[in-house]
Amino acid sequence: MSISILQSYRTKYQPRLPRALRKGIRRVAVVTGDVTDSISHQQELRSMFPNTYGQPVLTFKSGKKPKYLQPKNIGVILSGGQAPGGHNVIIGLYDALKQIHPRNQLYGFLGGPSGIVDNRYMLFTDEIIDSYRNTGGFDLIGSGRTKLEKEEQFMKVWANCKELDISGIVIIGGDDSNTNAALLAEWLKSKNAGINVIGCPKTIDGDLKNAQIETSFGFDTATKTYAEMVGNIERDAISAKKYWHFIKLMGRSATHVGLEVALQTHPNITLISEEVEASAMSLNQIVTEMTDIIVTRSQQGKNYGVAVIPEGLIEFIPEMKKLIVNLNDSMALVENSAEYKQATDDQTRFGVILNHLSQTAPDSAQVFNSLPTLIKAQLLLDRDPHGNIQVSKIDTEQLLISMIKERLNALKAEGKYDGKFSGQAHFFGYEGRCAFPSNFDANYCYALGYNACALLQAEQTGYISCIKNLSAPTRKWIAGGTPLTMMMTVEKRHGEFKPVIQKALVDLNGPVFKCLQNNRQKWALEDDYQFPGAIQYFGPDEVVNATTKTLELEKGKMKQRKWYNRLRLFR
């Protein structure tokens, strides 16, 4: 594969490590903290994880004398959607293994968790690893969404690891993938298999975080990528002065991405799903508030603007959430009926569904009937494997444009609006998942992989690789491990109570949301647009090594930013 000039330079970038890891794994000493509990359902989770529940938080420090460590074979898996920096986690793990002993080997299982079940793998070499340093994507070994939760799968994992003499597995993934890592760790320990399992926190959505995990990797790069594009759109808006841009951003379960991008770019309107749900806002209320801003700006001679919309908004609007549940139930009963199968056009299908909803859920029938034809059709698309509506395929941005246009036409007929409205729809999603990792993510991911190796060498299992103090210079980052069970709760999924790592939603009382809230009025009416530009890899330290606004605000470092930037010069 030929490479670009930028890629050739990026492969030469050497990520920085926390102080505790800089002298190598053989000098790492373990500091053991107090025993831990899960965030809820302690009794149930203790019974589900009798061998790995309650383990202490671990912190690493640099020891004085190097330890002799036996050669090891380790396996690594990429699980779930792509996130910038995944390759660097693998590379950090590889470099750490080879630094310990040149005979150590790292196996990459292909196509996600199914690779370790089906025994599809590749053995990494220096040549392979060196060509992927600091690159985006997951193409080195691929990824997948197979769940590891069944006895039969665990047996195959054990057999395949024994065949390759693998004593440790690193699973790189989000909340579901790390839940599976916890289940696999527990099962293997119950069998005294001698195979330890470590997780790594990945997701661009930013919803895998808590008191121990300050941010998931990929969030920094993805939000900077989206912010560049949103900034470009804002520049277009004030140049053309005749378009309203509605930009949907990834983030189905939480709005961390949209919130961070808003703080970087200052759009006129930013919708936060968690706020919509907490305020029990109806679709009409959302449309009314957005329309009010559009009308006010028009009265100022500004028939243009930018609105940022979260991908998962629909599921947070109470009436729409209820509609989706009722639609799922209705579709399960109706889609195999002769009447539905014989329907030859959308309008007939809508009629069949509407008739059923009118009998079972009249409120939802009314909401469904009020929606534009395009959205009705998308709500009836093929279900996912669990029988649920694929919310990501619903053009929420188009829905809002259509309803706002209808509202503006009504106001124009009443003589209350004489402006012009032209809505442009955008969805920025896949564009951010495989970008070259920012310097932050290149460093963070490399440290996570290196740190995962330290946890395995310390014979730990059921932990997630944890790097903290991330708003400080890399040398002040704190390396260690957090028990996966510490982040767990129990939820009912598909009729069964199951252990899950709790997703982190936007904290409406936290400093990040408050920053948006305090600036909303100003950003709505003024053109206070910010243009972050492309992710910077080379240049002034305060530019290339800036963290996200989210981290700065959560760690209270915004006012100390210049002080920290001066410190970075001496890393």
Query: What is the rounded distance in angstroms from the CA atom of residue 504 to the CA atom of residue 257?
Result: 12
205 classed as catalytic: yes
Residue 156 belongs to what H/E stretch? helix 151-163
Query: What is the rounded distance in angstroms from the CA atom of residue 36 to the CA atom of residue 58?
Result: 11
- Who's near 422: CB < 8 A, 6+ residues apart? 242, 243, 244, 303
pLDDT of residue 564: 39
CA dihedral defined by 372, 327, 274, 39, rounded to 10 degrees? -170
The total number of residues shown for the chain amounts to 571
* φ, ψ for residue 485, nearest 5 deg: -65, -20
Query: What is the rounded distance in angstroms from the CA atom of residue 168 to the CA atom of residue 187?
Result: 14
Q: What is residue 465's three-state secondary structure?
A: strand
pLDDT of residue 368: 92
pLDDT of residue 389: 66
If one counts every other C-beta atom within 10 angstroms of the C-beta of residue 365, the result is 20
Choose among 552, 500, 490, 467: nearest CA to 212. Answer: 467
What is the b/e burial string over 534-557, where b = at least 16 CB atoms within 10 angstroms of the residue's CB? ebebeeebeeebbbbbbbbbbbee
How big is the CA angle at 1 (ends 89 and 449), to the nearest 5 degrees? 5
How does DSSP assign 386-399, residue by residue?
TS---GGGS-HHHH
The answer to whether 93 and 453 have CB atoms below 8 angstroms apart is yes
The answer to whether 109 and 75 have CB atoms below 8 angstroms apart is yes
Weakly modelled stretches of the chain, pLDDT under 50: 559-571
pLDDT of residue 517: 98
pLDDT of residue 570: 37
This model's pTM is above 0.75 = yes
The answer to whether 144 and 113 have CB atoms below 8 angstroms apart is yes
Choose among 83, 207, 278, 215: nearest CA to 503. Answer: 207
pLDDT in tens, 329-375: 888 888 888 888 888 888 999 999 999 999 999 999 999 998 888 88
pLDDT of residue 401: 96
What is the b/e burial string over 106-116, where b = at least 16 CB atoms within 10 angstroms of the residue's CB? bbbbbbbbbbb
Given 205, 207, 220, 441, the catalytic residue = 205
pLDDT in tens, 426-485: 999 999 999 999 999 999 999 999 999 999 999 999 999 999 999 999 999 999 999 999
pLDDT of residue 559: 47
In the chain the domains, ranked by start, together with CATH numbers, are 21-218+437-501 (3.40.50.450), 223-432 (3.40.50.460), 540-571 (no CATH)
